Amino acid sequence: MSVGYDHVDLIAMKKYGVRLGHTSNISSEVIAETTIGLLIATARRFFEANHALITGEWKDSDIFWMCGRSIRNSIVGIVGCGNIGISIAKKLNSFNISQLLYTSRGEKPEAKNLGGKLVTIDELVEQSDFIIVSVALNEDTKYIINRKRIAKMKSHAVLVNIGRGELIDQDALIEALRENRIGGVGLDVMTPEPLPLDNPLIKMTNVVLLPHIGSSSIETRTEMAVVTAKNIIAVLDNSAMTKEVQL
């Protein structure tokens, strides 16, 4: 009952003739909503600000207290422009950003129509003020955000990951955050999940962590459950699944 199937041994499934269903595209919209929320919460320091309020640190202060960065007039890069990436791009369109960048195997007409420019991953990390990782995890994309690419990011760049934890070299990310080499990070996915409470990310003020709740709306989870049930029934009936992975 998920979009991604990186946690399934596809070779073994194929070898033993086990069919695999998933919930492709059902959750794209709600994951895109989560992404926008996480992007703003990270860029505008919502959790840090909330913590300041509840701990009595909210005082008459200087005009730049708790300032974050606007999304307006910024360059936003989306790594991976599948259904979720496109849905994020559509929502961002109303934010008056200055440029949308994206990576993909080839130009995507839908992204182009939204003003998106196809770039390489290295160009994207170098040029973006906000970087959103929304690509499927596989052998080609594992650690796509590696140490070298983290080093290329702008010092104020905000990185958001709603794909899978292993898309990012998390140790390199923690180092960059410790040394204030990037602006902030918003993660709905991380390594491992659940994240142990002694992980350094948990205590960092420039990090917003969510417990992999990208698709967690009642409506979406209900729809995912129904499709999963239909997929199971299809296997029992030896008929076509609603969403089947071609092994």
Residues lying near ligand O=CC(=O)O in the complex (CB under 6 A) are found at: 2-4, 27, 214-215
183 or 214: CB nearest ligand O=CC(=O)O: 214
Q: Helices (DSSP H) in 93-169: which residue ranges?
A: 109-113, 121-127, 147-152
Closest CA to 169 of 139, 140, 191, 193: 191
Smallest gap from Cβ 106 to ligand O=CC(=O)O, in A, equals: 24
Smallest gap from Cβ 217 to ligand O=CC(=O)O, in A, equals: 12
φ/ψ of residue 5, rounded to 5? -130, 30
Smallest gap from Cβ 112 to ligand O=CC(=O)O, in A, equals: 26
127 or 161: CB nearest ligand O=CC(=O)O: 161
3 or 76: CB nearest ligand O=CC(=O)O: 3
User: Residue 22 catalytic?
Assistant: no
- Show Cβ contacts of residue 80 under 8 Å, excluding neighbours closer than 6 positions: 102, 103, 104, 133, 134, 135, 136, 141, 163
* Pairing of the two strands 158-161 and 207-209: unpaired
Active-site residue list = 212
